[in-house]
Structure 1
Amino acid sequence: MFTRAVSRLSRKRPPSEINDSDSKPSGSQSNLNGTTRWATSLENLLEDPEGVNRFREFLKREFSEENVLFWIACEEFKKIQDKKQMQTKANDIYMTFLSSKASYQVNVEGQSRLDESILEIPHPLMFQKLQDQIFNLMKYDSYSRFLKSDMFLKLKQAEEQEENSPDAQNAAKRVSRMYNT
């Protein structure tokens, strides 16, 4: 799902180049249009590649893009099976987001910061507590502002106009006629 995200981090590319287009919407929410689905929960937004991209744009404007990038990196990290690869990725995540010299340092509680020694014995959930902190920060702070932002409201309006356009209505009527004939 986010394989490219973490692999790009390990090549020291800027997080702005992360592309998570492999993710897919899930469940009953997949029949809703993008902005409607995104507005139901942060989880739904994070499952949609376009939602992640739009949220990242918003966070970038707020100077907090590192939060979603860290969350993505942690999600992919949990899927790694190979111990050597896990150690490499753990180090990349630590150096990119958690160390005092990190280029995209996330804002987590001081006592929750990992000591570098934990990198010697990595495990899939080693970043979970910090990831949960960042998720909650996004959910209760940035996400609600995103839903009220001009960016989101314009996207929602554009989707609604597209759905209500004469072309969309005519296409729906044509499809309906084809199946009712």
Structure 2
Amino acid sequence: AACQVDSRQGRRRACREDIHDNDGSSSSSHQSLKSTTKWASSLENLLEDPEGVKRFREFLKKEFSEENVLFWLACEDFKKMQDKKQMQEKAKEIYMTFLSNKASSQVNVEGQSRLNEKILEEPHPLMFQKLQDQIFNLMKYDSYSRFLKSDLFLKHKRTEEEEEDQPDAQTSAKRASRIYNT
């Protein structure tokens, strides 16, 4: 009930998470979800998992579009920066690597021709947000769905399932927790 009273964004999010945990388990149980299950549930989940990012990059490399995920990751790092000088350097690096017409790993975003180095003079955390969203949607509706059907993903999924079928690997952690909880 506290959720409805306090409608601040963060509080609402916390309540939604409580709803998902209505099977009585704590949110730490989400850790036991197979990584491929998490990756397949959303692109956001895939990009939050370092192993997922690694596999997705391998896949995009084969498709010659690794620059998309690299750009997205660079923008995520950029948004966390506080120091103005570091922001300027990172903004310039992002521009030169992914956005300028001489970029080594150019991404294909709308409005690119209107971009110029002037934007780098006054960097702010969300200056690349629109472009980052475009690339996210491009990955989400294009390469992500192919990734989920790829051998690379399916092989990883099979490996996880085989590991789960081996009783020793699966139950040793459970056995340990039972021992310590008695």
TM over 0.5: yes
Equivalent residue number for residue 52 of structure 1? 53
In 2, the alpha carbon distance for the partners of 1:134 and 1:112 equals: 16
| Amino acid corresponding to residue 84 of structure 1 in structure 2 | K
Equivalent residue number for residue 95 of structure 1? 96
CA drift at 1:73 = 0.3
In 1, the alpha carbon distance for the partners of 2:61 and 2:37 equals: 22
Contact 1:77 1:90 in 2 (8 A): yes
**Deviations 1:2-58 (Å, cap 9, x if unpaired)?**
xxxxxxxxxxxxxxxxxxxxxxxx977433111111111000010100000000000
Residues 1:130 and 2:137 are matched in the alignment? no
Distance change >3 Å, CA 157–CA 100, structure 1 → 2: same
Identity of aligned residues (%): 79
Runs of 4 or more above 6 Å deviation: none
Question: How many pairs are equivalent?
Answer: 156
Task: Please report the RMSD computed on the Cα atoms of aligned residues, expressed in angstroms.
Answer: 2.2
Normalised by the length of structure 2, the TM-score is 0.78
CA drift at 1:133 = 0.3
**Deviations 1:54-107 (Å, cap 9, x if unpaired)?**
000000000000000000000010111111111111000000000011011111
| Rg (Cα) greater in structure | 2
Residues 1:38 and 2:39 are matched in the alignment? yes
The answer for unaligned runs of 5 or more in structure 1 is 1-25
Normalised by the length of structure 1, the TM-score is 0.78
The answer for unaligned runs of 5 or more in structure 2 is 1-26
